[in-house]
Amino acid sequence: MSPTPTAHADKPALRVQDLFAQTGGDPLSNAFARKTAIHPRTTARPVATADMDATWEVIRKEPRTGKSVAYLHIPFCENHCLFCGFYQNPWRTEHSRNYADAIIRELEAGKNDPAQAQGPIHAVYFGGGTPTALDASDLTRIIEAVRENLPLAPDCEITIEGRIYSFGIDKARACFDAGANRISLGVQTFDTQLRRRMGRKVSGEEAMAFLRELSALEQGAIVIDLIFGFPGQTQEMWARDVETAASLDLDGVDLYALNLLPNSPLALSIAKGKLAPQPAQSEMGHYYRLGHEILAGRGWEAISTSHWRRTTRERNLYNLLVKSGANCLAYGAGAGGTLGNVSYRLESRLDTYLETVQSGRKPHGFMMYAPASFDFLKELKAQMEVGMLHVERLQDALASHRFETPAGQIRPLFDQWQESGLLEQSNGWARLTTAGRFWQTTMTQSLLHWIQQNAPARVA
């Protein structure tokens, strides 16, 4: 594959000083002007549409090496919650069987491909959309097809993501019986009034009752998401949410800052004055610290910058592996994956996806080649995700990748972040403080910008 300039080649060069945090004051409030809300991305070169089939023919014949996961996308929702940026298709009962048939056909089509058949799969994630919207019989058929057609590791984590509305204990029991061992539910808040304003159909009391019943099954890890930064949500309301989660027999909880997308129904409602504004950016870090302190005070363990666990049943494998650059086999309309140095996304238009799978072809949406420094960059992201960086090892890796700027030039950045209260360095390690964990994605993006700017101007 021929050399090509990086995506930053036509932009003004960054200086390390451009990535410094503000000093003085409270780092939770003002370390940076804004918090990066998306997962940091790397430079990459797109594969031409005409070349995607040929590229797939090459990569599907290559056995996977290293850690691997699989992702199955279920792109339906019963309603569009105001804050959500993942809504694709309205749920219709008739979608269930047809979509399950298609995703199973896609799994079966690749069962003899070395890229699918060789090498253990360590985690499988059913995401969306709302996977739990599927009928129980169709959801279990897909789980069984995963177990039949993918070489799952003996301790493979199989997660079903969903929402409490339209799930039900019988459907949960069916998922466990089919082989799922982890359920992740988007609760977001237990405050009934706030839930109603955000488009959630189940009350906070009903959510708590269902979670107690679900945990009582003792058949797998039960994990929920909570979000801070909703319009009208006070720190007292947030504290009650986290305390409620901590009081339930859950295995894990994610604490996320609300990402207010510019054209989302929530952003439009705020702009029209129908809802109160979000808490100020300067306050958001204090919500994060409050949640951290409540869970830590009750003996929960932070296993990433956004995820806590109460029991060792919860491993959060899929999230940790995919963020560290593991191979990811993708199935379903709009699913994204990575094999070797190629990342790809499947066709997201539902009708086109169904027709393409029915014809026996892989429903490609787009593909991209990873940068030459991808192995190093994914290690960097993995370390930042858990809040611990081995500085000397990173500097050695930078040198081995022949970056044009001396690797030691990242040292002033780490020193300045330490002065700003974002990390602490000792014995060759840098550990993110609570403020650093809150700003983790922003700091990771800064590191990626600096490193890729000084990387060899080519991709793999």
The answer on 269 and 143 residing in a single domain is yes
The residues, any chain, with a CB within 8 Å of residue 168's CB and separated by 6 or more, are none
Position 7 confidence tier, pLDDT thresholds 50, 70, 90 = very low
Position 407 confidence tier, pLDDT thresholds 50, 70, 90 = very low
Express each pLDDT in 420-454 by its tens digit: 999 999 988 999 999 999 999 999 988 887 776 66
pLDDT for the residue 225: 97
> Under a CB-based contact definition with an 8 Å cutoff, are residues 38 and 454 in contact?
no
Residue 5 has pLDDT above 60, yes or no: no
| φ, ψ (nearest 5 deg) of residue 352 | -65, -40
Rounded CA-CA distance 399/39 in Å is 25
* Nearest one of 227, 220, 223 to 251, comparing CA atoms: 223
The answer on 137 and 21 residing in a single domain is no
The residue out of 322, 353, 387 marking a domain boundary is 322
The answer on 29 and 105 residing in a single domain is no
The answer on 129 and 213 residing in a single domain is yes
The answer on 98 and 35 residing in a single domain is no
Map tokens 């000093």 to a residue.
Answer: 23
Gyration radius from the chain CA atoms: 22
List Cα–Cα distances, 153 to 111, 183, 455, in angstroms. 16, 19, 36
Residue 43 has pLDDT above 70, yes or no: no
The answer on 417 and 315 residing in a single domain is no
| Helix%, strand%, coil% for the chain, nearest 5 | 40, 20, 40
The answer on 137 and 99 residing in a single domain is yes
Rounded CA-CA distance 314/203 in Å is 26
Rounded CA-CA distance 80/122 in Å is 32
The answer on 35 and 140 residing in a single domain is no
Note whether residue 460 is domain-resident.
Answer: no
Note whether residue 35 is domain-resident.
Answer: yes
Decide: residue 17, CB within 10 A, 0-12 exposed, 13-18 middle, 19+ buried: exposed
The answer on 31 and 132 residing in a single domain is no
- What does DSSP assign to residue 371? B
> 382 vs 70, which has greater pLDDT?
70
Q: Would strands 152-162 and 182-188 be described as parallel, antiparallel, or unpaired?
A: parallel
Residue 404 has pLDDT above 80, yes or no: no
Note whether residue 435 is domain-resident.
Answer: yes
Note whether residue 212 is domain-resident.
Answer: yes
Give the mean model confidence (pLDDT) for residues 351-370. Answer: 95
* Nearest one of 195, 280, 298, 199 to 237, comparing CA atoms: 195
How many structural domains does the chain have?
2
Vertex 255, ends 249 and 258: CA angle to 5°?
A: 140
Note whether residue 12 is domain-resident.
Answer: no
Note whether residue 365 is domain-resident.
Answer: no
pLDDT for the residue 86: 65
Rounded CA-CA distance 165/169 in Å is 11
Give the mean model confidence (pLDDT) for residues 406-421. Answer: 81
Question: Mean pLDDT for the chain?
Answer: 88
Residue 292 has pLDDT above 70, yes or no: yes
Note whether residue 269 is domain-resident.
Answer: yes
The kind and range of the H/E element at 103 are helix 95-109
Give the mean model confidence (pLDDT) for residues 37-57. Answer: 81
Per cent of the chain over pLDDT 70 is 88
| CATH label of the domain that carries residue 23 | 1.10.10
- Lowest mean pLDDT of 76-85, 126-135, 219-228, 344-353, name the range: 76-85
> Under a CB-based contact definition with an 8 Å cutoff, are residues 345 and 365 in contact?
yes
92: tokens are: 């219709």
* Nearest one of 184, 165, 198 to 123, comparing CA atoms: 184
Note whether residue 330 is domain-resident.
Answer: no
Rounded CA-CA distance 57/35 in Å is 40
The answer on 201 and 155 residing in a single domain is yes
The answer on 68 and 21 residing in a single domain is no
Containing structural domain, residue 382: 17-40+373-453
> Under a CB-based contact definition with an 8 Å cutoff, are residues 389 and 425 in contact?
no
Residue 359 has pLDDT above 70, yes or no: yes
Per cent of the chain over pLDDT 90 is 68
Rounded CA-CA distance 415/422 in Å is 10
The answer on 143 and 36 residing in a single domain is no
| CATH label of the domain that carries residue 219 | 3.20.20.70
Rounded CA-CA distance 57/50 in Å is 13
Question: Reduced to 3 states, what is the DSSP secondary structure of residue 450?
Answer: helix
Position 9 confidence tier, pLDDT thresholds 50, 70, 90 = very low
